[in-house]
Amino acid sequence: MFGMDPTTIAIRIPVLLIVITVHEFAHARMAFHFGDATADKQGRMNLNPINHLDPIGSLMILLVGFGWAKPVPINPLNFNQYRSGLRWVSFAGPLMNLVVGFFSLLIFTILLQNGLIAFGGLPFLFFQQLVMINVYLALFNLLPIPPLDGSKILMSFLSDANLGNYRQLERYAPIILLALIFTGLLGSIIFPLATIVLTIYETIIRFIPGI
């Protein structure tokens, strides 16, 4: 489960900077679109990775392949459409990772087919990790466990009565996440879903002319 060899860790560092940055930038930009400039005012609506790194979440990405970034500050009360804003701002980060993951695989495939990168070399491993970690991070954040993005997406659909009940889960969320990670159950959820996503990517790419 843990990719501890030095080569993997070294490759994951630049990958980490990319996946975290695009994820958080997407949250900030979508919040701005819905009328909330909080992230912009606090210097988070940019592509500077230093602004978005969370120490523990980044370490988890390096070691496990999925984790979290420093949350972008948002104020849903500023949204011009509260529920729609909450839903799309929350979904923007994982969606960006899925999009970047797809185009990373597309570029990877083109380079590989044209002999521009060698199987097993550092560029090969870099693109492999870039694809996988984008997908892992997206799927991890879509889990409906507070404070992950999936929990806020779910909250945007819940009635006010059910919302109060769901928020009771927040106090147990850190324990739930740690239990899922260290028992290996989280990997049992994420990895099969990642296989499905990658299969969809590969199917789409096969239909692109010239590839």
Q: Determine which one of 11, 21, 24, 143 is catalytic.
A: 24
Long-range contact pairs involving 170-177 (C-beta distance under 8 Å, separation at least 24): 170/146, 173/145, 173/146, 173/147, 176/145, 177/145
Please indicate whether residue 24 is annotated as part of the active site: yes
Question: C-alpha distances in angstroms, 70 versus 49, 56, 154?
Answer: 10, 10, 21
Structure tokens belonging to residue 35: 């009328």
Bond into 147 cis (ω within 30): yes
Tokens 């992230």 correspond to what residue? Answer: 39
Q: Is 87:157 a contact under the CB 8 Å cutoff?
A: yes
Q: What's the rounded Cα separation, in Å, for the pair 154 and 142?
A: 10
Helix (H), strand (E) at residue 94: helix 82-113
Structure tokens belonging to residue 10: 């070294």
Q: What's the rounded Cα separation, in Å, for the pair 194 and 142?
A: 12
Instruction: Give the residue numbers marked as catalytic.
Output: 24
